[in-house]
Amino acid sequence: MAKKIGLVAAMSIGIGGMVGGGIFAVLGLAASMAKGGTPISFLIAGIVALITSYSYVKLSQKYPDRGGTVKFINKGFGIGVFSGSINNLLWVSYIIMLALYASAFGSYAPNLLKLTGSATLDAHIYSSVIVLIATAINYYSIAVVTKIEAYAVVIKLIILLGFVAFGIYGLVGNPHLTQLSPSNWESPFTLIAAGMVIFVAYEGFELIANSVPDIKDPDRNIPRAYYWTVIFVILLYMIIAAVTVGSLSFASIATAEEYVLAEAAKPMLGRAGFTIITIAALISTFSAINASLYGGSNVSYEIAEDRELPHQLTGKLWGQPIGLMITCIATLILVNVLDLTTISTAGSVGFLLIFSAVNYVGFKLHKTIKGNRFLPFTGFLLCITALIIMISQQITTNKIGLIVAVLVVLFCFCLEWIYKNMYAKK
């Protein structure tokens, strides 16, 4: 295929992957944990993502492949139980992210209907219906999926940047602005833990890796696409967090935790602001569900192609990989069984483990990829340390979330071990 993706298009893929439903879903959770230090928590999580992006840059330049993360893991560890387990975890983590986006959609949808005076239903119904609609669109046409994502990226960025502009102006004279002072920050330990719980908001920059074979002038544009994307999103998230905490009381943030971004628009724009941000949240989460269903089914296909899952998963159902239907069903189960905090914790644990593995590959293959060995190893240590801190903090406040996260990881490893030792040998 002729290279046709320029720098802006590559950055759009990364920004679209990160600024999807994540910020709408986890901002309230971060603010409830970190209080006035919420922007710092987003900065901490962003630094981990930025350092990890170095490994992705070097691995993408050496191994340009649409398999992205799956291929990097296999190159670093060889095709075996460990690599297969991490790649399975990637697929499951996509499913967890889908549940997060669907949960966010279900939280925002009733608020929009209340504004119109319409009757509302249980949030789980909205979450389930939007997953089914997105699945139907994926079966109908992948071209429609890509068009939805292209328009949605522009719409949500315009609205979020507008929120930032009006929000900064609205902070002048706001009595809650003092909440951002260091005296209202939680302890450094809690700030790090909060950043790691919402680390899923930075998941998405790795999608650039899947498009690397089509990027123009790769030596120049691959590093810029990764670094500029992550830095832009870090700044965007920190400003959004600052505007939110500076606009609302901590009590209001706790009350509107699952739709706090819309609530934060009220002080500056009133009911219209609440409505606009709610619509932006619905568009963003829907597009994220749409794109992640496609991405998740492709990950399962890649894993099966590498014989790390049964080869039957490379088959098609109604013209799409079988993994699409499995991803849909698993998402429906998770979003109707788990709450938002549990989903976010499980997703963050998954991606911290995946990124730690990619960083280790960057360190292990530093000579092959002609990279610095210090940065990937630092990224590996940061991911592991952040994971330990998050577990230490969450073990007293969110045991269910940690149990679910551990079970997910064990499931991925057990599934791969059983496949490799029983099924694959036949």
Residue 5, classed as helix, strand or coil, is: strand
Q: How far is CA 29 from CA 65, 182, 287, in A?
A: 36, 19, 22
Distances (CA, A) of 168 to 117, 143, 242, 418: 31, 38, 9, 54
Q: How many CB atoms lie within 10 A of CB 37?
A: 27
Closest CA to 102 of 332, 262, 294: 332
Q: What is the pLDDT of residues 363-380, one digit of tens each?
A: 999 999 999 999 999 999
Mean pLDDT, the chain, whole residue set:
85
Query: What pLDDT shows up at residue 50?
Result: 95
Average pLDDT over residues 326-341: 89
- Collect contacts of 147-152 with beta carbons under 8 A, ≥24 apart: 148/286, 148/287, 148/290, 149/16, 149/287, 149/290, 149/291, 150/12, 152/16, 152/283, 152/284, 152/286, 152/287
Q: What b/e readout covers 88-106, taking b as 16+ CB neighbours within 10 angstroms?
A: bbbbbbbbbbbbbbbbbbb
Number of H helices, E strands in the chain: 17, 2
What number is the average pLDDT over the span 202-221? Answer: 86
Per-residue confidence (pLDDT) for residue 242, from 0 to 100: 92
The CA distance from 406 to 351, in Å, is 13
Q: Which residue has the higher pLDDT, 111 or 99?
A: 99
1 — pLDDT class (breaks 50, 70, 90): very low
**3-class DSSP state for residue 176?**
helix
Which domains, and CATH codes, for the chain?
Answer: 7-423 (1.20.1740.10)
Q: What is this structure's pTM?
A: 0.87
Least confident of 42-46, 179-183, 216-220, 296-300: 296-300
Q: How far apart are CA 160 and CA 178, in angstroms?
A: 23
pLDDT > 70: percent of the chain: 95
Distance CA(307)–CA(310), nearest Å, equals 6
Least confident window among 55-64, 119-128, 192-201: 119-128
Q: List pLDDT tens digits, range 72-110.
A: 999 999 888 899 899 999 989 989 988 988 988 888 888
Per-residue pLDDT reduced to its tens digit, 302-322? 787 877 777 777 777 777 778
Pick from 37-51, 300-314, 335-349, 385-399 the range whose average pLDDT is largest: 37-51
